Amino acid sequence: MIGNIISSISPTSVKSIDCLIVAGGGSGANTNNGNQSSGGGGAGGYVYLPSQNLAIGSYAIAIGGGAPGQGTSLTPGNQGTNTTFATLTTAVGGGAGGSVSGTWPNNGVGGSGGGGGNQMAIGGRPYNGAPGTSGQGNAGGDGGLLANEAAAGGGGAGAAGAAATSTVASAGGAGLNTLSSWFSATGLGVSGYIAGGGGGSIGGLGGTNGAGGAGGGTDGTNGTGSSNATANTGSGSGGARGAAGISSGNGGSGLVLIRYSAGSITATGGTITTTGGYTYHAFTSNGNFQRTA
What does the pLDDT read at residue 3?
A: 30
pLDDT in tens, 239-266: 998 777 889 999 999 999 999 999 999 9
- Tell me whether residue 9 is in a domain: no
What does the pLDDT read at residue 37?
A: 86
- Tell me whether residue 113 is in a domain: yes
Give the span between the Cα atoms of 290 and 272, in whole angstroms.
12
Of residues 128 and 46, more confidence is placed in 46
Give the span between the Cα atoms of 151 and 227, in whole angstroms.
17
Q: How many structural domains comprise the chain?
A: 1
- Tell me whether residue 264 is in a domain: yes
- Tell me whether residue 4 is in a domain: no
- Tell me whether residue 287 is in a domain: yes
What does the pLDDT read at residue 101?
A: 57
pLDDT in tens, 151-166: 999 999 999 999 998 7
Domain that includes residue 268, residue range: 16-293
pLDDT at 6 over 50: no
pLDDT in tens, 15-25: 899 999 999 99
Using pLDDT thresholds of 50, 70 and 90, give the confidence band for residue 223.
confident
- Tell me whether residue 2 is in a domain: no
Using pLDDT thresholds of 50, 70 and 90, give the confidence band for residue 34.
low
What does the pLDDT read at residue 103?
A: 47
What does the pLDDT read at residue 120?
A: 54
Q: Which of 276, 258, 254 is nearest to 22 (CA)?
A: 254
- Tell me whether residue 62 is in a domain: yes
- Tell me whether residue 242 is in a domain: yes
pLDDT in tens, 101-130: 544 445 578 999 999 887 655 445 557 888
